[in-house]
Amino acid sequence: MGKFLSPRLKGLKPYTPGEQPQGGKYIKLNTNESPFPPSPYVFKALEGQAETLRLYPDPENRLLNEAIAENFGLSPENIIAGNGSDELLALIFQAFCPKGAAFADITYGFYKVWAEFYGIDYKIVTLKDDFTLCLEDYRDLDETIVIANPNAPTGLAVSPEKIAALAAEKPDRLIVVDEAYVDFGAESCIRLVKELKNLIVVQTFSKSRSLAGGRAAFAAGDAELIRDFNTVKFSFHPYNLDRLTQLAAAAAIKDRVYFETCTSKIIKTRERVSGELKTLGFFLTDSMTNFIFARHEKIPGAEFYRLLKEKGVLVRYFGTERIEDFIRITVGSDDEMDAFLKALKDILKEAAK
């Protein structure tokens, strides 16, 4: 630790992003990016806009907030846009966890990092042996509850009805639902913000709307909750979205046909590849995301990760307790997934010799 770093952060272990190799050497199936380009609406919206970068962007993100609200049948007062869901979630941990936070033991790794970064007490709630999240385990907690739904990296989801019941039990306890992957087969809780004042739903444009490089996301909630959220945002990062990202995200969310076409293709590819993996002897969770979470009893997860990388395919390996034998495979294009399957079959053949 350097002498200028606050002693409070001495033991902080930062979040480790997925590898981002440069040069196109690998088939990247490790960071859950979309295999498709952004909507044609995005390209049109950005035409001739580079000159406007000399001006500050709208700090209220009005164009984008209005487009998001219209898409979900909400009011702009129910929406706050953010620089990726990570910014919004970080602000939630900082501002909306007065009694601490609670989240699963196997989930998005940033939750624990944020809690420790902001000095927030937190409780870890263990998933069941089959990796399902049991909301009964959260019923008596007073902490702000953070649920990735569908969960990452397990890919499993719980119903909005169950989350609504949990929220209704303690109206003074906040529930945060991180829906980064909800568009690939799960059901969103966003409609519930009209009736539940203690619910925040966070979504991103990175996965299903192909804007991972644009860093756009939003949170939806009761108008009073969003007003408080804006107070926090304007006390931290008023100009949090640049002009081009606001235009791109607003255009992307308006192209419903393209969105549904891309997500449907990813779901179809996921199911095809999942079937082939099962035939090859893999155990899979019932993923409702744009990735597959898998293990094989004959080859450890770390070995699969290494051997696939040697063959030019990157997948995500976590190496943490309970999931050390799993790899997480992003659903790429059909050609990418065919190359992945070929590499996988070659590894299994070599292991059988």
Query: Given this model, what pLDDT does residue 23 score?
Result: 75
Output the 3-class SS for 6-73: CHHHCCCCCCCCCCCCCCCCCEEECCCCCCCCCCHHHHHHHCCCHHHHHCCCCCCCHHHHHHHHHHHC
- pLDDT tens digits, 74-87: 999 999 999 999 99
Query: Given this model, what pLDDT does residue 19 score?
Result: 86
Structure tokens belonging to residue 347: 């590894």
Residue 67 has pLDDT above 80, yes or no: yes
- pLDDT tens digits, 46-66: 999 999 999 999 999 999 999
Matching fold, domains 7-36+257-352 and 40-255 = no
Closest CA to 65 of 242, 235, 249, 239: 249
Among residues of the chain, what percentage have pLDDT more than 90? 92
Cβ pair 168, 139 in contact under 8 A: no
**N- to C-terminal Cα separation, the chain:** 48
Annotated domain spans of the chain:
7-36+257-352, 40-255
Among residues of the chain, what percentage have pLDDT more than 70? 100
Residue 1 has pLDDT above 80, yes or no: no
> Alpha helices, DSSP H only, in 138-242?
160-169, 223-234
Q: What is the largest CA-CA distance in the chain?
A: 64
The CATH class of the 40-255 domain is alpha beta
| pTM, rounded to two decimals | 0.96
Query: Given this model, what pLDDT does residue 353 score?
Result: 73
Confidence of residue 3 (pLDDT cuts 50, 70, 90): confident
Architecture of the 7-36+257-352 domain: Alpha-Beta Complex (3.90)
- pLDDT tens digits, 181-193: 999 999 999 999 9
Cβ pair 201, 222 in contact under 8 A: no
Written as one letter, the residue type at 279 is: T
Neighbours of 350 (CB within 10 A): 9
Query: Given this model, what pLDDT does residue 10 score?
Result: 86
Q: What is the mean pLDDT of the chain?
A: 96
- Per-residue pLDDT, averaged over 259-268, amounts to 98
Answer whether the bond into residue 153 is a cis peptide, omega within 30°: yes
| CA dist., res. 64 & res. 296, Å (int) | 44
Task: Return the bridge partners of 302, or none.
Answer: none
Confidence of residue 24 (pLDDT cuts 50, 70, 90): confident
- pLDDT tens digits, 268-281: 999 999 999 999 99
- pLDDT tens digits, 296-341: 998 999 999 999 999 999 999 999 999 999 999 999 999 999 999 9
> Alpha helices, DSSP H only, in the chain?
40-46, 62-72, 84-95, 110-117, 160-169, 223-234, 243-254, 256-279, 301-310, 334-352
Half-sphere exposure of 333 (CA within 13 A, CB side): 7
